[in-house]
Amino acid sequence: MKMALLQKAILNNPKTVQKTIGIFYNVSRNHWNYQYKPGPYPKTNEERAAAAKKYGLTIEEYTPYPESMGYGDYPKLPDIGADSKDPHYPWDMPELKRNFNEPVHALAELYGEDRYDISMRPRFPVWYQACFLFAVLGGSFALYYYLEDFKMGRPVLVKQYPKDGPHYMFECE
């Protein structure tokens, strides 16, 4: 009920509609928020402490990416895919499996729930999968090699041509 009254109040006032459209237009045009932009690489302990506080981490947890990578003071977070996170934990944003004000991984577009899970442990080791693949391929090639001499198919007779003589006799009465 309150939401409907608020919508009526906004839609009935043209100045409010104009401001609202302007806000949405600016948000859609400016996709970068200056507060999330990483600062310069921290060189002193005070800069490291300030960067850790900026990202909501303790000084012991905070380690920036190497300066050569160009991420500035952005923290190097552990590589954990969204599929490996606990699905029963009460996340603030359960569709992304993250909490409010939690720093986002620098490669978050690679580690989503519908993407590659770098921290996943396979059900079977890679060498086991490779052995299984080669056993299946080798077995199918061995079967083909040993059964190649046996022709399988529908038996047919030799094709009959008119030059070979009469084959069908129809007698008229």
Secondary structure of 20-68 as H, E, C letters: HHHHHHHHHHCCCCHHHCCCCCCCCHHHHHHHHHHCCCCCCCCCECCHH
82 within 8 A of 117, measured Cβ to Cβ:
yes
Q: What ranges do the domains of the chain cover? A: 1-31
Considering only CA atoms, which of 34, 58, 37 is closest in space to residue 48?
A: 58
- Measured between alpha carbons, how far is 110 from 23 in angstroms, rounded to an integer? 30
Residue 77, Cβ neighbours under 10 Å: how many? 19
Q: What is the pLDDT along the chain (173 residues), one digit of tens a residue?
A: 555 555 555 555 555 544 444 444 444 444 456 666 788 999 999 999 999 998 888 999 999 999 998 899 999 998 888 888 898 999 998 988 888 888 888 888 888 778 878 888 888 999 999 999 999 999 999 999 888 877 777 888 888 777 777 666 667 76
User: pTM of the entire structure?
Assistant: 0.52
Half-sphere exposure of 5 (CA within 13 A, CB side): 2
**Which has the closest alpha carbon to 17: 31, 27, 4, 7?**
7
Whether 83 and 118 have beta carbons less than 8 Å apart is answered as no
